[in-house]
Chains A and B, each alone.
Chain A
Amino acid sequence: RKEVEQDPGPFNVPEGATVAFNCTYSNSASQSFFWYRQDCRKEPKLLMSVYSSGNEDGRFTAQLNRASQYISLLIRDSKLSDSATYLCVVGYSSASKIIFGSGTRLSIRP
């Protein structure tokens, strides 16, 4: 079983829709959580960190569920420019390491 698992998608949704996807992690010692965004043939870039209390940044909301060991990303009022692959990242402070999920591909159609 992978340490960090994501549905590869693609999620194909119309512009303006709300879309959400989850990421599960297997190690309960995980302490840091992030969503990175990667455009086609580009490098990953930090989208947002995920805090225990959840956090929101404009149209994006990230949640952490420690009991069930997953994090989620919700995108409201989706734009064409949101089309990308979203990478879930889980960090272990004790080992100073992070693990990347293989990503969920999102495609927004006009």
Chain B
Amino acid sequence: NAGVTQTPKFQVLKTGQSMTLQCAQDMNHNSMYWYRQDPGMGLRLIYYSASEGTTDKGEVPNGYNVSRLNKREFSLRLESAAPSQTSVYFCASSRLLAAQETQYFGPGTRLLVL
């Protein structure tokens, strides 16, 4: 089992460009998450999907959109990238949406917006 996979691993964008970060999990998990990690800020939740067909905003959703394509895949889109979106993005999944569930993370996407 690959667990949680993310593509791409690295990306450089110019301000105003758009891109989609892809995430897939093969653990048959119901819930999936997108986080960003910035120095000194910890992991902050951007969007999450409790189950296939549902998505909800997290702590920092502005400038992002998501799609839960099916149970396995959850994508994050930046419509018009800004330098403030330079960060490391992690996708995660868990069996259920519950505070006591372990979250499993993908390897991350390092994004630089110039």
- CB proximity to A under 8 Å, residues B66-114: 90, 97-100, 102-103, 105-108
Q: Are B102 and A43 in contact (CB under 8 A)?
A: no
Residue count of chain B within 8 Å CB distance of chain A = 19
**Contact A42:B107 (CB < 8 A) given known A100-B43, A102-B40, A102-B42:** yes
The proximity string for A residues 22-45 relative to B, scoring 1 for CB distances below 8 Å and 0 otherwise, is 000000000110100000011111
Residue count of chain A within 8 Å CB distance of chain B = 24
B98 is contacted by which of A41, A44, A96 (Cβ under 8 Å)? A96
Classify the secondary structure of B's interface with A: loop
> Smallest distance from the beta carbon of A44 to chain B beta carbons, Å?
5
The interface residues of chain B lying within 8 Å CB-to-CB of A42 are: 107-108
User: Which of A10-18, A53-61, A65-73, A86-94 contacts the other chain?
Assistant: A86-94
- Interface check B41, CB cutoff 8 A: yes
Q: Are B99 and A43 in contact (CB under 8 A)?
A: no
- Interface check A20, CB cutoff 8 A: no
The interface residues of chain A lying within 8 Å CB-to-CB of B90 are: 43-44
Residues of B within 8 A of A (CB): 35, 40-45, 50, 90, 97-100, 102-103, 105-108
